[in-house]
Amino acid sequence: MANNTYDSKDIVVLEGLDAVRLRPGMYIGTTGPKGFHHLLWEIVDNSIDEISNGYGDTITITLNKDGSATVTDNGRGIPVDLHPTLKKSGVEVVFTQLHAGGKFNNKSYSYSGGLHGVGASVTNALSEWLKVEVHKNGRKYYMEFSSREINGKLKSGVPLGELEDVGPTKQKGTVVTFLPDKRMFGDIVFNFETINKRIKELAFLNKGLKIELTDLRQDLHVAYHYEGGIKDFIEYIDEGKTKLFSTPMYFSAESDIVKLEVAIEYTDSYTENTFSYVNNIPTTEGGTHETGFKSAWTKVFNDYARSSGYLKDKEQNFLGEDFREGITCVIAVKMHNVEFEGQTKTKLGNPEAKTEVERLTIQEITKLLDNKDYEKFATVVLDKAKAAAKTREAAKRAKEISRATKNADNFNLVGKLAACTSKKGEKSELFIVEGDSAGGSAKQGRDRMFQAILPLKGKPLNAEKKRIDQVLGNEEIRTIISALETGIGEDYNGENLRYHKVIILSDADQDGGHIRAILLTFFFRYMRNLIMDGHVYIGLPPLYRVFKKGYSEYVYSDYELPAAIERAGKGYQIQRYKGLGEMNPEQLWETTMDPDKRTLVQVTIDDAAEAEKMVTTWMGDNIDARKAYIALHANFNREDKFNEEFMD
């Protein structure tokens, strides 16, 4: 537990406030929707850090009608006394000094997701105004900041006055309200569902946390509170899957270096799903903590297989990938002095995390396996590994073939893939097109310099329900693997990617939607970094052409059709495109392939756990869950619904 006192002397200042507005990408990544929401996460993370360190238990987020957001917690409250060297209140220091906070030493916070200490000040710098209420020591304090012109120059986050003692209060904690500046973000607004997904994840990761979200713009309210923490999280992720053991395995351990929590469950699926976090930050690219856990898991179960006689003396040890087939694992680490690789905080770099997580995992799993209650769990893991090893051997030849991508004839690509002239991957596009007819039009209508076409004759295999050897046995999947030249699974190498834009082009109907889902499932399961690195796109073809003599307009949704008819006026005709194959090469180029006119939706994964649950629901065996999901979300003619369904 950190020290209970939290005063201005605990705030360490590294340097003054820089011109955040000049280079916002350095601090929030982008001035698009992700960077916009980053302003909110910086304030929420400060509240989470309070609660993670044992101070308070409740956070509320309110999206106000004027576009601002309010974050309230019941922690200790930001320091209000004067900083010993700056002679300013702690509130003013936190919101105006770029590298200032109580997280650069371990006195006030044992664990913190706010590594850089730029959060509150960056949110202030990029807001039109920001207001702070602090309830501390029985008193309420208030301070306001504004970004405004002073002597003809725009000044960011300027205090409008000193910190004011408003009067007595029975509350404790901090309330921050801010309005992101339209001069930086344009017309972007807070997205309820984006925030909803993240706070649910935070509730899972912080056992006992109560977190609420209210959207006054839409009269929406959600609240989350999970006493089981990551054990509840793993049950949520695997809902709808067939579990091989009645309850998840769970353990926690702590040392001077890390605090570790792990929950593990096995299902009858054929892929590995590991979700890791450091100080509540999702480490989607893994890192040293994941490496340490996986190494320990492999060692402990190989040793157990030997000592129990499951593996004979002449038999080879299982590989780590054998033990992880069908695993769903949540690894939550809290530690001091976190070193993330990059400002995006997606990969842990601390070398000591590997050693310590490995040691603690070996220690705790060994204890559990000595308990007879876990004998069945151990048998499940070993039986699953044995079956996976057999599959691995059966797939070995197929994997070797899949890596031999330079010889495209192996997969009969000649006659299928119409390659482009350019050899530069960053300038090349691959259209995966539904059907030979549409493929023929695309081949004729494309720009041969940078656009390649790969028609699919039939539906690819649903990778969600098949083993790797079965997936590689599907001709359509093999052609895709061969065309991309990256390999799959653990052999995936993004540096070899032949086409940096992989565009799925299918009909705007339910069959086309199913093909999109199948392809996205394959990429998610076996080429996840292809999506993570931003290379996968969906092409949106038109549904209609409204035309008459001297007038022609393409319409991309039913919603847009009435307005298009009104623009056309009397005497119009409507052509309904039932599929891509009904368009001639010129029409397909003009509507769907021309970079200057087309609409592409980039597929992203901001929440890997939610993406995992969605793929399982969409492509798994639970028919009722799938029907319910389709009824709620599916609308194959609306671009906004398509974004909702496949992005984030």
- Which residues carry out catalysis? 434, 507, 509, 511
CA atoms of 487 and 478, how far apart (whole Å): 10
Count Cβ atoms below 10 Å from residue 593 Cβ, excluding itself.
23
Helix (H) or strand (E) segment spanning residue 96: helix 90-96
SS3 state at 198: helix
**Based on C-alpha coordinates, what's the Rg of the chain?**
27
Are the C-beta atoms of 485 and 404 separated by less than 8 Å? no
Tokens of 484: 């991309």
Token readout for 396 is: 């070995």
Of the candidates 511, 411, 513, the residue with the CA atom closest to the CA atom of residue 454:
411
Residues 6+ apart with CB under 8 A from 611: 524, 605
Q: Are 598 and 592 in contact (CB under 8 A)?
A: yes
The count of C-alpha atoms lying within 13 angstroms of the C-alpha of 418, restricted to the half-sphere facing its C-beta, is: 21
CA distance 490 to 209: 36
Six-digit token string for 412: 């009969």
The DSSP element (H or E) to which 148 belongs, if any, is strand 139-150
3-state secondary structure 211-279: EEEEECCCCEEEEECCCCCHHHHHHHHCCCCCECCCCCEEEEEECCCEEEEEEEEEECCCCCEEEEEEC
Q: Residue 185, Cα to own-chain centre: how many angstroms?
A: 22
In sequence order, what DSSP letters do the residues of 628-642 get, joined into one string? Answer: HHHHHH--TT-HHHH
Three-state secondary structure call for residue 315: coil
Report the phi/psi class of residue 280: left, alpha or beta, with left for phi > 0 and alpha for psi in -120 to 50: left
Q: Say if residues 204 and 236 touch (Cβ distance below 8 Å).
A: yes
- Single-letter code of the amino acid located at 603: V
CA separation, residue 496 to residues 247, 519, 587 (Å):
41, 20, 33
Q: Which residues pair with 142 in a beta bridge?
A: 133, 164
Instruction: Specify whether the CB–CB gap between 279 and 378 falls below 8 A.
Output: no
User: Apex CA 639: angle with CA 619 and CA 216, to 5°?
Assistant: 95
The DSSP output letter for 484 is H
DSSP state of 49: H
Euclidean distance between CA atoms 71 and 63, whole angstroms: 9
